[in-house]
């Protein structure tokens, strides 16, 4: 085992992994081509040669035995605290960051006051001998000012969050508001490239044994072959920089028969629709608040014409005469003047 070297940077890429020997070497070479040396947190139950391969490649890795059969069961907390940096960027063993994301993390993300950031993920498939990514509509999350494609909370302050071990979480939680990297700062997910459909169905079913609804809500990224390709709305922009890595990845050889149960198909469709509905409602709520703020700003525009020293006396006068039973409108205007003068005073 090669221990992590002293790291004077603001962040470290950490990679939890188990039984990834078929492709982990290609991924490590890709990191080294862009000057990144990640820290691998290797599940001690790995049995396919992952340990030996990382050792041969002189990689930085630490074995760890999680408390469950999911990466959230302690691997993220252990890896974050073992990294030796203030921030960590957690990337799974079947993912890879774009150069623009790494630049943004160095220059913006780790210099912010936020405890964690969401980063857009692109789920890849190989279709007609070309690599493409999905634009499944339910994966677009309304963040308050824009849609972010499939945001994943992956960049975080090591000691700025509370670690949890719940499935389908980032492995930690922190108080909102959430922050999101720009949409063009993303990472790719090639689960559907290196794992067969049979293996992916088995993985979804494993997660379903822990939380059935959540597992099938997120199943569209793992099982694109079983969804409507029109809804996947595949695209390939931005993938050129990953061409060397993607072309080196081994394709799966396990092509056993596969079939979802009627209940699994129902849950997959039902949960995708529910997610899309939740996103639409969140966007509508945000737009309603924005419209109310704009309307209030237009209504109070005349207050900008009142000299600042007169704002407080005007507010007090209106609030005083507005105390009468029939003076509700005067009182409301007085309250707006009072609020406006407080904002002007603190500005």
Residue 221 is classified by DSSP as G
- Are 28 and 20 in contact by the 8 Å Cβ rule? The answer is no
- Residue 200, in any domain of the structure: yes
Query: DSSP strand E in the chain: where?
Result: 11-17, 39-43, 60-64, 87-90, 95-97, 116-127, 130-133, 140-142, 147-149, 151-157, 162-163, 172-173, 186-189
213-261 confidence digits (pLDDT tens): 888 877 888 888 888 888 888 999 999 999 999 999 999 886 666 778 8
pTM: 0.77
Mean pLDDT to the nearest integer, 279-308: 67
Does the residue 4 lie in any domain? Answer: no
Task: Tell me the C-alpha to C-alpha distance, in Å, between residue 244 and each of 87, 192, 241.
Answer: 28, 17, 8
CATH, residue 278: 3.90.550
Question: Contact 26/95 with Cβ under 8 angstroms?
Answer: no
Q: What range does the domain containing 325 cover?
A: 301-346
Q: What whole-number distance in Å separates Cα of residue 269 and Cα of residue 20?
A: 31
Mean pLDDT of 64-87: 90
Number of structural domains (the chain) is: 2
pLDDT-derived band at 3 (thresholds 50, 70, 90) equals low
For 99-147, what is the HEC assignment? HHHHHHHHHCHHHCCCCEEEEEEEEEEEECCEEEECCCHHHEEECCCCE
- Please indicate, yes or no, whether residues 311 and 279 belong to a single structural domain of this protein: no
Q: Is residue 292 part of a domain?
A: no
């Amino acid at each position: 085992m090669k221990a992590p070297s002293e790291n004077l940077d603001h962040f470290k890429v950490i990679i939890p992994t188990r039984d990834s020997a078929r492709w982990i070497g290609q991924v490590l070479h890709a990191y080294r081509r862009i000057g990144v040396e990640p820290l691998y947190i290797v599940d001690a139950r790995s049995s396919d040669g992952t340990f030996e391969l990382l050792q041969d490649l002189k990689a930085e890795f630490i074995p760890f035995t999680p408390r469950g059969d999911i990466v959230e069961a302690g691997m993220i907390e252990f890896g974050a605290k073992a990294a030796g940096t203030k921030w960590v960027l957690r990337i799974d063993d079947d993912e890879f960051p774009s150069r623009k994301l790494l630049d943004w993390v160095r220059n913006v993300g780790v210099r912010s006051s936020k405890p964690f950031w969401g980063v857009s993920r692109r789920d890849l498939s190989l279709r007609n001998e070309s690599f493409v990514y999905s634009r499944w509509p339910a994966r677009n999350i309304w963040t308050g000012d824009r849609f972010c494609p499939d945001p994943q909370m992956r960049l975080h302050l090591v000691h700025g969050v509370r670690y949890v071990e719940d499935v389908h979480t980032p492995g930690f939680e922190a108080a909102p508001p959430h922050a999101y990297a720009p949409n063009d700062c993303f990472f790719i997910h090639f689960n559907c490239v290196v794992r067969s459909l049979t293996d992916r169905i088995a993985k979804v079913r494993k997660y379903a044994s822990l939380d059935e609804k959540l597992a099938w809500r997120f199943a569209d990224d793992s099982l694109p072959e079983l969804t409507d390709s029109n809804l996947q709305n595949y695209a390939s922009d931005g993938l050129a920089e990953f061409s060397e890595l993607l072309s080196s990845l081994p394709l799966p050889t396990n092509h056993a028969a596969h079939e979802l149960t009627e209940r699994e198909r129902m849950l997959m469709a039902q949960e995708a629709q529910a997610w899309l509905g939740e996103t639409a409602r969140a966007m509508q709520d945000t737009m309603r608040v924005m419209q109310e703020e704009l309307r209030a700003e237009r209504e109070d525009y005349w207050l900008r014409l009142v000299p600042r020293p007169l704002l407080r006396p005007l507010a007090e006068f209106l609030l005083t005469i507005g105390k009468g039973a029939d003076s509700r409108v005067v009182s409301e205007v007085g309250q707006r003047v009072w609020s406006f003068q407080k904002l002007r005073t603190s500005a």
